[in-house]
């Protein structure tokens, strides 16, 4: 028996995700990518932006583009409610960490998912394109769509949003 086979196995790592609702479906983003959650504030529209980019907000004096993922998934814009909020995430744009606001209808809960709780993305039956999904998280009797932020938030669109406001 080799020394490696006698070594204790590391327990599978549990990852945490923030669940949120968007146009009637539940999605989740890895918690490590989230900076904060803030209430909805007025959005400043920026001319020439793609429909996915709603505009920008001021977050403690910094310009933060806001993206509506429902529109990105080809759905109609939804009315704002008292539960509408922004999930501020961090993405790398040209190697620089950049804050992006993701419009959410509601924020639900933090989920602990181990590797055994994550299935490959479904090939059909979701409104989000499969390319935007990291997997399908199993939570008791339900499933949650796990988003791949690096694919959902296209660098080209976001750089256009930031350039449009002169940052």
Residue 40: CB atoms within 10 Å: 17
Q: Which strand ranges, in their side-by-side order, compose the sheet holding 53-59?
A: 34-39, 85-93, 96-104, 62-67, 53-59
Q: Report yes or no: 102 and 67 within 8 Å, Cβ to Cβ.
A: yes
Q: Report yes or no: 66 and 82 within 8 Å, Cβ to Cβ.
A: no
By mean pLDDT, which of 4-13, 29-38, 86-95, 113-122 is the weakest? 4-13
Pull the structure tokens for residue 55. Answer: 């505009």
Backbone torsions φ then ψ of 163, nearest 5 degrees: -65, -30
6 membership: H or E segment, kind and range: helix 3-6
pLDDT confidence of residue 166: 46
* Three-class SS state of 18: strand
Look at the pTM and tell me if it is higher than 0.75.
yes
By mean pLDDT, which of 65-69, 120-124, 143-147, 151-155 is the weakest? 151-155
Pull the structure tokens for residue 32. Answer: 């490590």
Backbone torsions φ then ψ of 33, nearest 5 degrees: -90, -5
pLDDT in tens, 58-68: 999 999 999 99
pLDDT in tens, 17-62: 999 999 888 999 999 999 999 999 999 998 888 888 999 999 999 9
Q: Report yes or no: 59 and 41 within 8 Å, Cβ to Cβ.
A: no
């Amino acid at each position: 028996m080799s020394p490696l086979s006698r070594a204790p196995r590391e327990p599978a790592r549990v990852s945490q995700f923030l669940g949120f609702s968007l146009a009637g479906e539940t999605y989740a983003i890895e918690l490590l990518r989230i900076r904060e959650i803030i209430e909805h504030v007025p959005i400043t529209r920026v001319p020439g932006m793609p429909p996915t980019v709603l505009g920008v907000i001021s977050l403690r004096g910094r310009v933060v583009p806001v993206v509506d993922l429902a529109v990105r998934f080809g759905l109609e814009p939804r009315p704002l409610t008292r539960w509408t909020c922004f999930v501020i995430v961090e993405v790398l744009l040209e190697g620089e960490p950049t804050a992006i606001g993701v419009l959410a209808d509601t924020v639900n809960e933090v989920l602990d998912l181990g590797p055994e709780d994550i299935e490959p993305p479904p090939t059909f039956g979701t409104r989000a394109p499969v390319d935007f999904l990291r997997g399908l998280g199993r939570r008791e009797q339900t499933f949650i769509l796990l988003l791949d932020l690096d694919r959902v938030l296209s660098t080209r669109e976001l750089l256009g949003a930031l350039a449009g406001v002169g940052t």
